[in-house]
């Protein structure tokens, strides 16, 4: 058995950095695909030349041709326009819905048994587009948001308490953005609930910073948005799936009644393995958490209703 093929679509900052992290694991053969001629080829050549220095045997190829990606085990979709300062995720909707629609159609044609991880914003609605257009089964289509949001919360807690980020366990569900639902009751430091470590007002401040995590990076960078943490989150999901680790990670998955959500992609804890989303893990939620998740799902539903007109 050779290494399995993973295709990253979109060779911008998120896609390029994801390709770098994937090829440097040495576990995968990576295809970096973009519609702008020269960018995927140039980045791939640069990454190929880095291989002897980082001890990687993974291969990478840059292309504009979907045929090169044929037979991919997993495809990461990062293509689309990024959010500009002051721009809402909703404003991205029409442009990115058309982009993801076209990508999903071409991926389904050449890699019919691939697992899809969607990263394009607005995340939950774009995952819905990819699922609807590809016609793949629900377990093979998911969105990356919760892993990133949870990592942001973990990093803020670790910095606040001056402890290793490894000691912090966090779980953020719901939509990506202001609608996310950090489950503070399930957030622990060395197995001890966060409420034992910090007063409520500090926890609330860290939650708020997590909800605005992407916007904070955008406002500092002025041009462009976050890509180091998003690409690391993508690779964590890819590894969980490809290594069949059964890791429980929050991601946008198609709920069919779980958490009172029906026929919508929304962030929930999922067991990830070689079949993709192998199980949606049911946690018991408080009334407030359930209400926050329902509100999050309602806003995703609105976006999906808008998106249907572009499909």
pLDDT in tens, 192-234: 999 999 999 999 999 999 999 999 999 999 888 899 999 999 9
Residues 150 and 137 in one domain: no
Residue 71 has pLDDT above 90, yes or no: yes
Maximum mean pLDDT: which of 163-167, 221-225, 299-303: 163-167
Residue 1 has pLDDT above 70, yes or no: no
Span 296-304, average pLDDT: 93
Span 89-103, average pLDDT: 88
pLDDT of 42 reads 98
Strand 247-256 to 180-182 pairing:
unpaired
- Catalytic one of 21, 27, 101, 176: 176
Residues 31 and 132 in one domain: yes
Q: Are 14 and 76 in contact (CB under 8 A)?
A: no
Q: Are 214 and 225 in contact (CB under 8 A)?
A: yes
In the chain, the N- to C-terminal Cα span, in Å, equals 38
Domain count, the chain: 2
Residues 298 and 153 in one domain: yes
Q: Which residue, 143, 168, 203, sits at the end of a domain?
A: 143
Residues 119 and 218 in one domain: no
Query: Band of the pLDDT at 92, cuts 50, 70, 90?
Result: confident
- Classified as helix, coil or strand, 186 is helix
Domain housing 221: 146-310
Span 238-250, average pLDDT: 98
Residues 133 and 10 in one domain: yes
Residue 282, C-beta contacts closer than 8 angstroms, at least 6 positions apart: 258, 259
Residues 222 and 74 in one domain: no
Q: Which residue, 114, 143, 172, sits at the end of a domain?
A: 143
What CATH code is carried by the domain that includes residue 73? 3.40.50.720
Active site residue 176: yes
Residues 120 and 167 in one domain: no
138-160, pLDDT tens digit by residue?
999 999 999 999 999 999 999 99
Task: Give the phi and the psi of residue 65 in degrees, each rounded to 5.
Answer: -105, 120
pLDDT of 91 reads 74
Residues 100 and 195 in one domain: no
Q: Which residue, 143, 163, 191, sits at the end of a domain?
A: 143
Residues 164 and 305 in one domain: yes
Cβ neighbours around 193 below 10 Å, total: 12
Residue ranges of E strands in the chain: 4-9, 28-33, 60-63, 74-77, 115-118, 141-143, 168-169, 172-174, 180-182, 188-189, 192-193, 247-256, 262-273, 276-280
Residues 289 and 155 in one domain: yes
Residues 20 and 111 in one domain: yes
**What does the alpha-carbon distance between residue 41 and residue 22 come to, in Å, rounded to a whole number?**
16
Residue 89 has pLDDT above 70, yes or no: no
Residues 164 and 298 in one domain: yes
What CATH code is carried by the domain that includes residue 229? 3.90.110.10
């Amino acid at each position: 058995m050779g290494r399995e093929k993973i295709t990253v679509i979109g060779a911008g900052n998120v896609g390029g950095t994801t390709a770098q992290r994937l090829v440097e694991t040495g576990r995968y053969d990576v295809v970096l695909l973009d519609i702008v001629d020269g960018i995927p080829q140039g980045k791939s050549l640069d990454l190929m030349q880095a291989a002897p220095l980082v001890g990687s045997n993974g291969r990478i190829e840059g292309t504009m041709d979907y045929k090169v990606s044929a037979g991919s085990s997993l495809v990461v979709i990062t293509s689309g326009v990024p959010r500009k300062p002051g721009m809402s995720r909703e404003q991205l909707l029409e442009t990115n819905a058309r982009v993801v629609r076209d990508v999903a159609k071409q991926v389904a044609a050449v890699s019919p048994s691939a697992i899809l991880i969607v990263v394009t914003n607005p995340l939950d609605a774009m995952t819905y587009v990819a699922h609807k257009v590809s016609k793949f089964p629900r377990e093979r289509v998911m969105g990356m948001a919760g892993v990133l949001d949870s990592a942001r919360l973990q990093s803020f807690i670790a910095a606040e308490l001056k402890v290793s980020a490894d000691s912090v366990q966090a779980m953020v569900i719901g939509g990506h953005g202001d609608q996310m639902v950090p489950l503070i009751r399930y957030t622990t430091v060395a197995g001890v609930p966060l409420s034992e470590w910090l007063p409520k007002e500090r926890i609330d401040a860290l939650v708020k910073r997590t909800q605005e995590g992407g916007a904070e990076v955008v406002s500092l960078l002025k041009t462009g948005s976050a890509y180091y943490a998003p690409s690391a989150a993508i690779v964590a999901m890819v590894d969980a799936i490809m290594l069949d680790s059964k890791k429980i990670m929050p991601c946008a998955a198609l709920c069919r009644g779980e958490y009172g959500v029906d026929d919508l992609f929304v962030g929930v804890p999922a067991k990830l393995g070689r079949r993709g989303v192998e199980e949606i893990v049911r946690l018991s939620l408080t009334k407030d958490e359930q209400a926050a998740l329902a509100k999050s799902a309602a806003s995703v539903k609105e976006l999906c209703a808008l998106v249907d007109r572009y499909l």
